[in-house]
Amino acid sequence: MTAPVVTGTALVVGLGDPARGDDGVGVAVAGLLATRSLPGVSVRVHRDPTALIDLWAGHDPVVVVDAVRSGAAPGTVHRLVLGTGARPLPASSWVASGRGTHAFGLAAVVELARALQRLPERLVIVGVEAASFGHGQPLSEPVLDALPGVVDRVVEEVTSRVSG
């Protein structure tokens, strides 16, 4: 399902299921980024966070985009910087507290990768506050409205590290 890893490239992973409303925001962001053909940036889509440890091997930086529920207004964009130099996930974060759409999965993968010494040097989680996860539903208006800003934020994350 995934293409071979090119060592040294940045990686953007859009997590989620586009058939479940706002859970498809990561996939939508990845699709928009893929059309930009950014040099030194690989873009992937994945539904299951457990495959991330193998997927991000050899990439730096890594940006994961996913839908979250933290209680903030739908469309709110969250950013959490992790990686080998960062402290473990704080229990109060929306990722560690199981408020992402993959519940404990993404936090567990991050901390398992840390324990296995397979965490990227720089890992940024970009979460977009979701409004709905109904099967067969499109992205909600607040999430659609947030897409351009999320794409710009991800481009900044990967291009500042690739070019600098």
Q: What are phi and psi of 45, to 5 degrees?
A: -120, 140
- What is the Cα–Cα distance from 60 to 80, expressed in whole angstroms? 16
* Mean pLDDT taken over the chain: 84
Strands 10-15 and 62-68: parallel
Mean pLDDT of 88-107: 57
Q: How confident is the model at residue 100 (pLDDT cuts 50, 70, 90)?
A: very low
End-to-end CA distance of the chain: 31
- What is the Cα–Cα distance from 131 to 117, expressed in whole angstroms? 35
Q: Tens of pLDDT along 38-97?
A: 999 999 998 888 889 999 999 999 999 999 888 899 999 999 888 787 777 665 555 544
